[in-house]
Amino acid sequence: MRNRWALLWTLVVLAVGVHQVLFWRSARLDTDVLALLPEDEQAPEVDAATRRLADGAGRELVVLVGAPDWASARRAADVATRELGADTTLLAPTATDASALDAAVEFYRPYRDRLLTPAQREWLARATPDELGGTALMKLYQPAGPRLTDWSADPLGLWPDWWAARAAESTARPRDGRLWLSGEGREWVLLTWRSQVSAFALGADARITAQVDRARAAVQAEVPQGRLVAAGVPLYAEAAASQASDEMSTIGLGSLIAVLVLVWLTFRSLRPILLVGVSLGIGCAVALTVTALFFDRVHLLTLVFGSSLVGVAEDYGFHYFAARQGRPPEERWTVMRALLPGMALALLTSVVAYLALGVAPFPGLRQMALFSAAGLLGAFLTVVCWFPSVDTGVLPVTAFAERFARSLPRWPRIARTWRWGLAGVLFTGALGWGLWRLETRDDLRQLQGAPASLIADQRELGRLLGLPSPAQFFLVGGADEEEVLAREVSLKQRLDPLVKDRVIAGYRAVSDWLPTAAQQDADARLSARAEGQAVLAVAAATGEAPERARFARDVLTPGRFLDSPAALAIRQQWLGRMGPRHYSVVMLRGLNDPSVLPRLAEVGQGLEGVRWVDKTGEISRLLERYRRIMGGLIVVGYVAVLLTLVARFRREAWRAWIPSVLGTLVTLAFFGWTGEPVQLFSVLGLVLLLGMGVDYGIFLLEHPGDGSAWLAVALAGVSTLLSFGLLGLSATPALRSFGLTMLLGEVSIWFITPFFRLPPGKDAS
């Protein structure tokens, strides 16, 4: 029977090994931060809009190359273009120069008569024939120069003004065949590139970042005072992948080395080191396989978080070898049977604590929860099924292990004395003061840890180009495409006063480039009447008979527009059909002051089909809501754990339970003492403390007065401390907060647990 379980687990491990080979060949790793965020529970179209905007920019790289004068800026742009285009399999330029503008002009040319600005409509509606004729004559006799079209196709010169209104969406203007802008003491050339590799497939080698760095260095070397600023999702994705890879090496490898050094100091034998290492490796492999089977992609942050599993999964091996020391090999199955109830109870509490993370609607957290729970189960089964079968040698008691095992009787024990009463009063007062000062903070920015240089470049590009915010926008819905465009127009009428008051710099909407069919027909009739009067007036004044040009009879439709070069800059804002309705997005420019967000939210109120979306605010509020929910679950969890312990230990269950409660309170009080705010990820750390912290008390109650149990508890505590302490070094704020919580909590619980051990000669059962 024993060999049967070992053989069965061997087959499972072989299957996991095959899956690992296939998994790493396909490399289904996700670096997208949006994959970590919860879905919108009331409006899935908001998530679809956010995803569409993110996907639209997922491959885009925006580069500004500047210099003090225009000639130097052009030379610097040539240098940057040469370096960025060196590897055509990595980056490809997108058409943002004069050729792109020419293609858009040609697309719109047959429909010029139905493209009017609001100011032009107002003027054409009230202008007299004499005014129209005078304007047409003035346009006719203007000195020859660059024109979008000839006089007969636009006798009133309306089209340039329409294009000027479109150009106001960006500060960049055509100049010498390039896109140019001036700002912050420099002349800039705008270059846009598209990654040939999906941001979701970027690795830790940061190839695009290296390409940009080479271009930046070349610009600075060849053009005095030249400067290159770049931003884009590919750079953020590569930074996240590189950071995750580094942290996996630091946290995972560092934890593993520390654990193996502890094993060597304690047992002075290669066999425990190898077997504990095997249990950890198999645990991580099982975790990755199970996660990959349940999720389409495994997120890199899941692997970073899972690296801390090393500090927990080795506990089972520690307990086995600590109890195995000094006993003959033939007793190894007896040792395992004696340890199994406590190990199984410890596994149960830990797995339940990890799976509690899955209550929150964060796909990333659910991955982390499943990864960790599966990893612990894999390590546990490896120890139970394999260790007694392969551990056939002698394992003597080392001097280090013996000295540490003998330290337990010297550890103080809680007693009913006035000194312990005074210590309890002081301890309670310190806890109360820390908890009173406790603050909370729920901010979406805690999910990211981008390099400061990337954030600085992004902000500078935003200032210079007036880029719209992808996190705050209006979602416009309608029964059909025409209704969506019409509702956009109604929304813009409310936004115009805010632009005039400089609350925002402007907005960008599909209806700016594609008027409704009704508006196109009305504008065509209006321009035909006004231009007809103008042509007649010119004929009367000159004695000639000029004819007005002919235009298309049909109207522009969303389908034709979106397939055209004119839609290049706006295509991602048209979401199209999602379910029974159609949607588009109206984006805002110059949204730099968070205090104006409530005023913008009021703009959409009362407009049917228009919804204000502040994704940053929504996620932050969701973080707060689930922080409160998880806080309540901690209380419920402690009650459930206490009932579980009572079922096993009866009246002595509180001895395993109280240390975790006090450790949680000490951690929260420390946050209050130091001014560190509590966030959702701090609370999630407390959830795990509930499961793992109880383990120490369980083993001391299962084996009262047993020095080997105390040795195993100490090794487990120190290794967990090292593991989560390294996690606290993560550059990702969320993981750092989680790691700090676990570090403080584990230290506190490990230190407090021996104070509540059983008196000599007393049995927990």
Q: How distant is the alpha carbon of residue 603 from its chain centre?
A: 29
Beta-carbon count within 10 A of 12 CB: 17
Contacts 24+ apart (CB under 8 A), 512-517: 512/165, 512/166, 512/169, 512/570, 513/166, 513/561, 513/566, 513/567, 513/570, 514/485, 514/556, 514/558, 514/561, 515/114, 515/115, 515/485, 515/556, 516/482, 516/485, 516/486, 516/489, 517/482, 517/555, 517/557
Return phi, psi of residue 650, to 5°: 60, -130
Closest to 335 measured CA to CA, from 323, 347, 322, 317: 323
**Three-state secondary structure call for residue 186:** strand
- Beta strand 298-299 pairing with 186-195: unpaired
Least confident of 353-362, 515-524, 739-748: 353-362
What pLDDT is stored for residue 672 in this prediction? 93
> Percentage helix, strand, coil, to 5, in the chain?
65, 10, 25
Q: Which amino acid is at 362?
A: F
Least confident of 34-38, 166-170, 502-506, 510-514: 34-38
What pLDDT is stored for residue 170 in this prediction? 67
Is the model more confident about 290 or about 357?
290
What pLDDT is stored for residue 497 in this prediction? 92
Task: Determine the straight-line distance between the first and last CA of the chain, rounded to whole angstroms.
Answer: 29
Residue range 702-725: mean pLDDT, rounded:
78
Percent of the chain residues topping a pLDDT of 70? 86
Residue 202: which pLDDT band, with cuts at 50, 70 and 90? very low
Residue 761 has pLDDT above 70, yes or no: no
pTM of the model: 0.70
Closest to 226 measured CA to CA, from 70, 394, 454, 383: 70
Query: Rounded mean pLDDT of the chain?
Result: 82
Residue 719 has pLDDT above 80, yes or no: no
Q: Residue 584 and residue 567: Cα distance in Å, rounded?
A: 14
Residue range 316-333: mean pLDDT, rounded:
87
Residue 157 has pLDDT above 80, yes or no: yes
- Beta strand 178-183 pairing with 29-30: unpaired
What pLDDT is stored for residue 364 in this prediction? 73
Using the structure block, give the residue that is written with the tokens 């687990």.
Answer: 9
Closest to 723 measured CA to CA, from 371, 308, 317: 308
- Counted residue by residue, the chain has a size of 765
Residue range 615-636: mean pLDDT, rounded:
81
pLDDT tens digits along 218-253: 999 998 889 999 887 777 777 776 776 676 666 667
Residue range 410-422: mean pLDDT, rounded:
86
Task: Give me the DSSP letters along 40-80.
Answer: PSS-HHHHHHHHHHHHHTTTEEEEEEEESSHHHHHHHHHHH
pLDDT tens digits along 565-611: 888 778 888 988 888 899 999 988 877 777 888 889 898 888 999 99
Q: Which amino acid is at 61?
A: L
- Beta strand 227-232 pairing with 60-67: antiparallel
Q: Residue 697 and residue 699: Cα distance in Å, rounded?
A: 6
Q: Residue 98 and residue 144: Cα distance in Å, rounded?
A: 21
What pLDDT is stored for residue 200 in this prediction? 47
Is the model more confident about 51 or about 24?
24
Q: Residue 451 and residue 82: Cα distance in Å, rounded?
A: 26
Non-local (6+) Cβ contacts of 464 within 8 A are 64, 171, 181, 183, 184, 188, 229
Return phi, psi of residue 463, to 5°: -65, -45
Residue range 14-33: mean pLDDT, rounded:
77
- DSSP code, position 550: P
Ramachandran bin of 761, using left for φ above 0, alpha for ψ from -120 to 50, beta for the remaining angles: left
pLDDT tens digits along 361-375: 677 778 888 888 899
What pLDDT is stored for residue 307 in this prediction? 61
What pLDDT is stored for residue 532 in this prediction? 87
Q: Which two tokens stand for residue 9?
A: 């687990």
Least confident of 129-133, 313-317, 605-609, 650-654: 313-317
What pLDDT is stored for residue 431 in this prediction? 93
What pLDDT is stored for residue 343 in this prediction? 87
What pLDDT is stored for residue 689 in this prediction? 80
- Beta strand 29-30 pairing with 298-299: parallel
Q: Are 159 and 527 in contact (CB under 8 A)?
A: no
Q: Residue 339 and residue 516: Cα distance in Å, rounded?
A: 75
Least confident of 160-164, 184-188, 612-616, 718-722: 718-722
What pLDDT is stored for residue 15 in this prediction? 93
Q: Residue 215 and residue 213: Cα distance in Å, rounded?
A: 5
Least confident of 301-310, 511-520, 574-583, 599-608: 301-310
Beta-carbon count within 10 A of 460 CB: 16
Q: Residue 315 and residue 193: Cα distance in Å, rounded?
A: 51
pLDDT tens digits along 124-154: 999 888 888 888 888 887 765 556 778 888 8
Distances in whole angstroms, Cα of residue 713 to Cα of each of 12, 310, 728: 29, 15, 22
Q: Are 306 and 378 in contact (CB under 8 A)?
A: no
Q: Are 385 and 283 in contact (CB under 8 A)?
A: no
Is the model more confident about 195 or about 107?
107
Q: Residue 667 and residue 681: Cα distance in Å, rounded?
A: 13
Closest to 233 measured CA to CA, from 51, 374, 83: 51
Residue range 621-640: mean pLDDT, rounded:
82
Q: Residue 491 and residue 167: Cα distance in Å, rounded?
A: 20
b/e for 612-634, b at 16 or more Cβ within 10 A?
Answer: bbbbbbbbbebbbebbeebbebb
Q: Which two tokens stand for residue 540?
A: 């009367």
Residue 517 has pLDDT above 80, yes or no: yes
Q: Which two tokens stand for residue 668?
A: 């929260």
- DSSP code, position 192: E
